[in-house]
Amino acid sequence: METADLTAPDLYINRELAFLEFNRRVLEQAKKDEVPLLERLRFLCISSSNLDEFFEIRVAGLKQQEALGGTHRGTDNLTPSEQLRRIAELTHELVAEQYRVMNDVLFPLLDAEGIRFRRRASWDKRQRQWLKQYFNRELEPILTPIGLDPAHPFPRPLNKSLSFIVTLDGKDAFGRSSGMAIVQAPRALPRMVRLPDTHAEAPHEFVFLSSIIHAHVDELFAGMKATGCYQFRVTRNSDLLLDEEEVDDLLRAMEGELPSRRFGDAVRMELAEECPGPVERFLQGQFDLDDMDVYSCNGPVNLMRLMQIPDLVDRPDLKYPGFTPRVSRRIQRATDVFSAIREGDVLLHHPFDSFAPVVDFLRQAASDPSVLAIRQTLYRTGADSAVVKALVDAASNGKEVLVVIELRARFDEAANIELATHLQEAGAQVVYGVVGYKTHAKMCMVIRREGRKLVRYVHLGTGNYHARTARLYTDYGLFTCDDAFGQDVQKVFKQLTTMGRAGRLKKMLQSPFTLHSTMLAHIETEIENAGNGLPARVIAKMNSLVEPGVIQALYRASQAGVSIDLVVRGMCALRPGVAGVSENIRVFSVIGRFLEHTRVFYFENASEDGGQPRVYLSSADWMQRNFFDRVETCFPIEEERLRRAVTRDLELYLADSTKWELKPDGTYEQRPETGKRVAAQELLLETLPD
């Protein structure tokens, strides 16, 4: 029998196209009747926001490769140019569908609920008068129209900012007639304007800023007539370019580089669909964009403007019902978090379990006279967060506080620079990780004197120390005072601060050193067990799966008869269901109320004498960057009761009747629900106390 070539390009799905498939699944949530109406609007906005970042980073990178003549092919064998063409085809379809859903589905449903978006053609006399006064009072003094001529060259609009190109007839006071002008809407202006109750015909009536400017654009050009006004938005390359080998102070370098993000090379233009061809071509020339880079918009050029509507509209019946996360009984009855952890490891599954114990852990450590030191990694958080306040209080109280802040957390760089400064001013020691590697690990350690010994209390997680996202993302967190874990965490912190080697860790796995090789070794064990007639199974849940080495190992495991179930929220480059290669692999995606963010790896680990399953939680996805270019941690769940709890959660997601299944051709299918509805997130919420 001929052995399949596991490196063959047709066995791999392109990661960029896989992302677009994920975003299509997000948009599908906006179409579902069972999702509350204002939440459907949020999903529409999220799909738009996802595309923004996709173009700012991924498409921008491909365009750079293409411009430099790059012909590098990934595992799927597509060149940068081939990827860009395919991305454009799929994204044009996706954008057209976004506006169809907005105009033909969501807006009529919202209107029926008294939530209305007034277009210019439907303004009545009183509304026109009020909006004219609003324009004269709030907008006209701030807007700066620029007539285009040799003395007024085409401006450089900020990344993703709202702009208008205006065609003009007539001459200005100096006898000039450029025929064209640009109006940029400052970011300080609200993108949605609410009509006062006295002028509204519905309980909640809004007008887009773009409509108000369009209606009154003539007033910006005295003596001239605006013959056309067309909104547009340009997305720019937002990846920061730092030569870290040449940087002496990473924070100063980041501060210097951040402003360039606003004026990077243009990679996409969104343009009002009624814009005439000659004007569109003029804009293309200004931004050096091809036809495929221009996206026609039947509505606002930035759908994210609608994200504020659910917060402005007080209609709880059109939103997900509120819930109160549970707090572990052991933590509730304990005098403090430390005594609860001494009784045994504590596992938290957010948002179903409250994030409050994590904050309390730090707050109690800050004021406890027995606590000597706190070590913490921060990737995405805010300077005003409760976690940061506890660290500031701890430093002020004389604790030895060390914080490893990853300055390069994409799009949170400015916030992390502010955070670093704030902590340093409070007396904490702050370092920025390792040059060339992002510190993505989620760890916190409190060192406490108890009698004649020092005890290390540790929190390890799959997600960020951010209280808000802990209510929106699913993540796990583990509290333990197991000495081996404590030693491992201390070694990793020492490695991050001293540039020394961590040495062999007792229990934890770490990227870029042991995580990849250990995952491969565990898959190999399952292959051997299947060959010996023992039960063999792999279950993995993560955000993305694109690393070729792991994919090839999973293919070999499938060929050996190992049962493999993968729950991958976003990008998956593995192609399941291929004859002779991956018949034993199933890939699912769960999209729901909460963003699935947990990384869980289960290996059956059967043996003739009754081996125990291996269950790991991790900060890392199965991607090249997580295995080789980041500092990540992965930790085993050893207590049997906790291992069973994590395994039950995995099985619940596999039983989810709303999940999407990846087909061999790279598309996803959501099968019609038959029988009893099983939605993992909903069932986990039902376990919470009333």
Over residues 157-188, the pLDDT tens digits come to: 999 999 999 999 987 666 666 689 999 999 98
How far is it, in rounded angstroms, from Cα 584 to Cα 623?
22
pLDDT computed for residue 627 by the predictor? 98
Least confident residue range of 268-272, 408-412, 493-497: 408-412
Query: Measuring CA to CA, how many Å separate 666 from each of 17, 18, 149, 663?
Result: 9, 7, 50, 6
Distance of CA 25 to the CA centre of its chain: 15
Q: Domain 329-506, what fold?
A: Endonuclease; Chain A (3.30.870)
pLDDT computed for residue 250 by the predictor? 43
Query: How does pLDDT run across 79-93, given as a tens digit for each residue?
Result: 999 999 999 999 999
How far is it, in rounded angstroms, from Cα 373 to Cα 385?
20
Res. 151 pLDDT band, cuts 50 70 90? low
Is 199 a catalytic site residue?
no
pLDDT computed for residue 500 by the predictor? 65
The torsion angles phi and psi of 682, rounded to 5 degrees, stand at -65, -40
Least confident residue range of 79-93, 223-237, 332-346, 429-443: 429-443
Cis peptide preceding 357, ω within 30 of 0: no
Contact predicate 168/179, CB 8 Å: yes
How far is it, in rounded angstroms, from Cα 272 to Cα 213?
14
Query: How does pLDDT run across 356-406, given as a tens digit for each residue?
Result: 999 999 999 999 999 999 999 998 776 578 999 999 999 999 999 999 988
Q: What is the mean pLDDT of residues 488-497?
A: 94
273, pLDDT greater than 90 = yes
Res. 589 pLDDT band, cuts 50 70 90? very high
The helix (run of H) or strand (run of E) holding residue 625 is helix 624-628
- Is 3.30.1840.10 the CATH classification of the domain at 10-314? yes
Q: What percent of the chain has pLDDT over 70?
A: 92
Contact predicate 629/649, CB 8 Å: no
Which residue did the predictor score with more confidence, 215 or 262?
Answer: 215
Query: How does pLDDT run across 185-225, given as a tens digit for each residue?
Result: 999 899 999 999 999 999 999 999 999 999 999 999 988 89
Res. 690 pLDDT band, cuts 50 70 90? low
pLDDT computed for residue 421 by the predictor? 79
Strand-pair partners of 678: none
Res. 245 pLDDT band, cuts 50 70 90? very low
How far is it, in rounded angstroms, from Cα 610 to Cα 605?
9
Q: Decide if 10-314 and 511-686 have a common fold.
A: no
Catalytic-role residue among 216, 440, 459, 597:
440
Q: What is the mean pLDDT of residues 546-558?
A: 98
Q: Return mean pLDDT, the chain.
A: 91
Which residue did the predictor score with more confidence, 499 or 521?
Answer: 521
How far is it, in rounded angstroms, from Cα 66 to Cα 43?
32
Longest CA–CA span in the chain (Å) reads 94
Which two structure tokens, joined as six digits, stand for 398? 């004389």
The torsion angles phi and psi of 634, rounded to 5 degrees, stand at -140, 130
Q: Tell me 136's DSSP state.
A: I
Cis peptide preceding 145, ω within 30 of 0: no
256, pLDDT greater than 50 = no
How far is it, in rounded angstroms, from Cα 540 to Cα 563?
11
Query: How does pLDDT run across 531-543, given as a tens digit for each residue?
Result: 999 999 999 999 9
The helix (run of H) or strand (run of E) holding residue 498 is helix 483-498
Q: Are strands 266-272 and 294-297 parallel, antiparallel or unpaired?
A: parallel
Q: CATH second-level architecture of 511-686?
A: 2-Layer Sandwich (3.30)
At which residue do the structure tokens 């913490």 appear? 376
What ranges do the domains of the chain cover? 10-314, 329-506, 511-686
Q: Are strands 443-450 and 371-378 parallel, antiparallel or unpaired?
A: antiparallel
Q: Tell me 639's DSSP state.
A: S
How far is it, in rounded angstroms, from Cα 546 to Cα 625?
10
Q: 3-class DSSP state for residue 493? A: helix
How far is it, in rounded angstroms, from Cα 372 to Cα 209?
54
Res. 673 pLDDT band, cuts 50 70 90? confident
